[in-house]
Amino acid sequence: MAKRKSLPSLTVGSVLSIPVRHNSFALGQIINEGTVFYLAIDPRERTSVSEEICSETVKFTLFSWTNDAEVYRGNWTAVAKCDIFPSEIYKPEYKMGINGELHVESFDGTEIRKFNPRIDSNLSYRTSSSPLLIQDAVQAFNGAKEWKPYYEGFLIRKS
């Protein structure tokens, strides 16, 4: 019987490398952990990770809820564990249905309030995306693939 591969411990602050081209990658950081975790991505193409990665300036541009499938397969690698990078983290609210009525859920799910169509009309439902789709968006951001309209959903959408 084959041994099950052990995964690195992925927690808030884990920094992952996401392949862009053969010898380059972008960085993503886990902002909220769980079976499905929130990933903030600095999609700029890099060829190395410096010793000072935790003090670097990052520019998070893409955000998504996703899972660890590509980490498990060895395609995304945990390269560091840092405090949350000191840049603005987009933490959206989401609309959700409860007993046939619309409500708004906070980013971390700890607060729920009634939906107000006047101020909440731009909110979307909470979704998660395949890690491969996120990787495709990162590669397209860097010109390694064609940009598709679907990738717009990963870009910061502030109301």
DSSP 130-142: -HHHHHHHHHHHT
DSSP 94-129: EEEEETTEEEEE-TTSS-EEE--HHHHTT--B----
- Write down the pTM of the prediction: 0.84
Helix (H) or strand (E) holding 70: helix 69-72
Closest alpha carbon to 126 in 69, 65, 68, 67 = 65
Is there a contact between 25 and 16 (Cβ–Cβ < 8 Å)?
no
d(CA 24, CA 22): 6
**Structural domain boundaries of the chain?**
14-91+127-154
More confident residue, 33 or 5: 33
Bridge partners, residue 30, by sequence: 39
User: Tens digit of pLDDT for each residue in 72-103?
Assistant: 999 999 999 988 876 667 888 999 999 999 99
Per-residue pLDDT, 2:
56
Residues of the chain above pLDDT 90, percent: 66
What separation in angstroms does the CA of 46 have from each of 24, 60, 94, 158?
Answer: 5, 14, 32, 27
